[in-house]
Structure formats: C-alpha cells, structure tokens
Structure 1
Amino acid sequence: MKFLQSLDNVATPANGWAATIGAMVAPWFQYLYGSNRQDILVVLLFMIALDWVTGIHAAKKDKTYSSEYGLGRIPRTLFLVTLPALANLLDRVMGTPGFLFFGVTFGLIYHTWTSLTANAHRAGWPIPKSIVSLVGSEIKAKAERAARKETK
C-alpha cells in the first residue's frame, strides 16, 4: 500500500506532459545527431556553457559587457549546437558514418576550449602558464577586440 501511495508523486500531469514531449522530441535528436552520441554532445554543451560564463566575467572585468553583445551570442551558440547535426546528416548522405560529425564536433570543442580558456585568463582566473601559452593568440585577439570596443 505504501508503494502505491509513493506513485502519487510520480504519476502527475506535469510528469505525464514531460514524458510525452520527451517521447516526441527524442527521436528527432537521434535523427539529427545520431545514436549513442550523447556524451560528446554533453561535452560540447558543457564547453559552450563555460565559454558563456567565462566570457561574461571577462567582459565585466574589462568593462566591455553589454546586453547587445550578450544577445549577439545567442545566434552563435545556436550555430555551434546545430553544426554537428548538419555534419551528421552529411555523413548519412555521403555514407561516412561519423567522420564529419566527430571531426566537426571535436573541432568545435577545441575552438570553444581555447575561447573559454582565454576568457578565464582575461577574467583573472588562475590558468597554468603552459595552457596560457597554448591559447596565447586567442587571448591576444580577445584583448584587441575588447580594446576596440572601449574606444567606440
């Protein structure tokens, strides 16, 4: 009897709607990104989130942050998230299982890693010098962009 009472918290209309939406959306994600690729997509999303966090802190530190700049990052993020789906669909068309998908996704992860590392350095967060030297050109580019924004 106690077991059935505990189901009252699980069998709610909100959970039913969430399960229904999930059942309708999940096949589309599998179609767009391929099956068993959740881990690499989570890594990419995690990197993008960290890039946003470090970018906001770096921009606030050098006083170049504006809501206009932040809103401009939304289309960029959508592009970064949809590019692996396009690569997966091209893999399907060309018969190259995963070649483009993994190449594009790992390339985006590396690019995002350099961006978030440079942002963290600009924000003044502790980054090992060996890592800073790896992303030195990105740090320089971001500093130059910030300097141009300050002069406007």
Structure 2
Amino acid sequence: MKNQFLFTASGAIGAFLVSAFHFLYGDDPIRYSAILFYLMLIALDWIGGYRASKIDGSYASEYGIKGAFRAVFLLLAPAMGHLIDQILGTPGIVFGFLTAAFALHIWKSMTANIVRAGWGKWVPEWALNTVSDEIEHKIARATKRIQEKEKYLKEDDA
C-alpha cells in the first residue's frame, strides 16, 4: 500500500514537472539539452560563488537570497523567449537568443567565481582573459562586502 502511494505520487509529480517544462520551454528534444546545460551552468556558478565567498569571507545569507531570485529570473528568461516564439510563430529564435545570451553571462560569472575560489589553474588562459573584467568586478564587490560586514560587526560590539 505504501509503495503504491509512492508510485502514484512520484508519477503525478513527474507528470506535472514534464508538463510544466513543456509549457515553459517547449517539447523539442534540443531544448532539453539546452535547458539542462543552462541549469548546469547555474549550478556551477552557485557552487563556485559559494566556495569563493567562504574562502574570502564575503559570505552572507542575504546575498544568497538575492542569488535565489536571480536564479529564478534566469530560469524564466528562456521561458519568456519560448512564449514570445509561440506568439510570433517563430521556430525558437527568441528562446535560443535569450538562452544563449544569459548562458554567456552565467558562464562569465561562473568562470570568475571559479578563479575566486582558487580553482583558476584549471581555467584556460584565453578564458581568463575573456572574463578578466568580471573577475575584477567580483573581487571588488567581495572586498566591499567584507568591509561592510566588518563595519557591521564593529558597530554590533560597541
């Protein structure tokens, strides 16, 4: 009886998720690969950013919450592209453009986070040169957050 409930519940959840995916992103097999790649980029960006912030001391839960909203936005952007394609009757052009544009941004952020986390020796030189401005920006932002955190802690002690 318990197994029957688990099978029914997992089947219902799976049916909902597949239907939601088809509604948001379409049902073309290439879209599965594109969104899977996109999700993996977001996950690697989060892992690199989390690790980097723990190493340099800039970790703050409020920044993580903002990151969650950012991730939701990044997941909805290709869905919006699919919806626009449906309205215009185009064969995935807007979906592809938005997915590629945001994937490039995530790729830069992920690479910069990997460097900040101390894993830069595995990043090719050409990739480091391509994202050098993003690396500098992330280091500056982390330094600013560390200073704000220290200032807040000093005020708390007083």
Matched, 1:78 2:75: no
SS at match of 1:116: helix
Equivalent residue for 1:21, pick from 13, 19, 23:
13
Are 1:135 and 2:131 an aligned pair? yes
- Deviations 1:4-37, CA, capped at 9 Å, x for gaps: xxxx9xx632122111222234223212211121
The residue number in structure 2 matching 1:43 is 37
Query: What amino acid does structure 2 have at the position aligned with 1:129?
Result: E
1:89 maps to 2:80 = no
Q: Deviations over 1:69-114 (max 9, x none)?
A: 1122111000001111111001111122201000000111111111
Residue of structure 1 aligned with 2:100, choices 87, 102, 106: 106
Which amino acid in structure 2 is aligned with residue 24 of structure 1? F
Distance in 1 separating the partners of 2:12 and 2:66: 33
**1:145 corresponds to which residue?**
141
Which segment drifts farther, 87-96 or 41-50?
Answer: 87-96
Structure with the higher fraction of residues in helix conformation: 2
Match of 1:69 among 54, 57, 63: 63
TM-score normalised by the chain length of structure 1 = 0.88
3-state SS, counterpart of residue 59 of structure 2: coil
Name the SS of the counterpart of 1:12 in structure 2.
helix
Structure 2 residue identity aligned to 1:116 = M
TM-score computed with the length of structure 2 as normaliser: 0.85
2: CA distance, partners of 1:21 / 1:59: 35
How many residues of Structure 1 are paired with residues of Structure 2 in the alignment? 144
Moved over 3 A (4+): none
Offset at residue 150 of structure 1 (A): 2.0
Letter paired with 1:114: K
Which residue of structure 2 lines up, in the alignment, with residue 3 of structure 1? none
CA RMSD after TM alignment? 1.7
